[in-house]
């Protein structure tokens, strides 16, 4: 299972950090950001890691959005980086087709719903009439009769 970007591109953390620092201008805030200390501590507590004293950290880790991960392929010049870039582009294309197909399916469902709602509107009206008729009949029987009463 993939745990981090270094495994995706098969590079050491220091190589990745160095490539990002050299090309920081192509990593705006919506491509990459640095975790806050609170986020880093929360994340560290949720995954199995060595103690902080055994692995001193000089900087807080960076997080990459999907665009930042794709941009890494431009700054890492290995064959693995190029293959990863191709895989990322293919994933985006697959997502695009999935979204397009979902939109088509939604449109077809709306057309079916409109068609059958029109066909069954008479049935709905009849059911509503019968339900309301029973309520009206009960209300009429619950009223006190007015007028003259015959006495025996």
Within-domain flag for 99? no
Within-domain flag for 53? yes
pLDDT mean over 86-112: 84
- Total domain count for the chain? 2
Q: Scanning the structure block, which residue is given the tokens 């997080």?
A: 63
Residue pair 61/36 in contact (Cβ under 8 Å)? The answer is no
Within-domain flag for 73? yes
pLDDT at 22: 92
Each residue's pLDDT tens digit, 20-73:
899 999 999 899 988 888 887 787 666 655 455 555 556 677 888 888 888 888
- Whether the per-residue pLDDT at 90 is higher than 80: the answer is yes
Does 117 lie in the same domain as 58? Answer: no
pLDDT at 45: 67
Within-domain flag for 97? no
Does 17 lie in the same domain as 55? Answer: yes
pLDDT mean over 5-31: 86
Each residue's pLDDT tens digit, 116-146:
776 677 777 777 777 776 666 655 566 666 7
Within-domain flag for 117? yes
CA distances from 125 to 52, 113, 115, 138 (A): 70, 17, 16, 20
pLDDT at 128: 75
pLDDT at 2: 46
Q: Which domain holds residue 34?
A: 5-77
- Give residue 10's region: left, alpha or beta (phi > 0; psi -120 to 50): left
């Amino acid at each position: 299972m993939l745990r981090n970007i270094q495994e995706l591109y098969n590079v050491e953390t220091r190589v990745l950090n160095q490539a990002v620092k050299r090309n920081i201008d192509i990593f705006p805030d919506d491509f990459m950001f640095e975790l806050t200390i609170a986020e880093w501590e929360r994340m560290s507590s949720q995954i199995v890691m060595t103690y902080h004293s055994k692995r001193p950290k000089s900087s807080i880790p960076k997080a990459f959005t999907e665009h930042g991960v794709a941009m890494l392929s431009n700054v890492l010049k290995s064959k693995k980086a190029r293959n990863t870039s191709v895989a990322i582009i293919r994933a985006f294309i697959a997502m695009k087709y999935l979204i397009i197909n979902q939109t088509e399916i939604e449109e077809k469902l709306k057309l079916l719903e409109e068609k059958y709602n029109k066909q069954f509107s008479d049935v709905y009206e009849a059911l509503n009439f019968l339900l309301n008729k029973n309520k009206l009949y009960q209300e009429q029987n619950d009223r006190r009769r007015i007028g003259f009463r015959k006495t025996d």
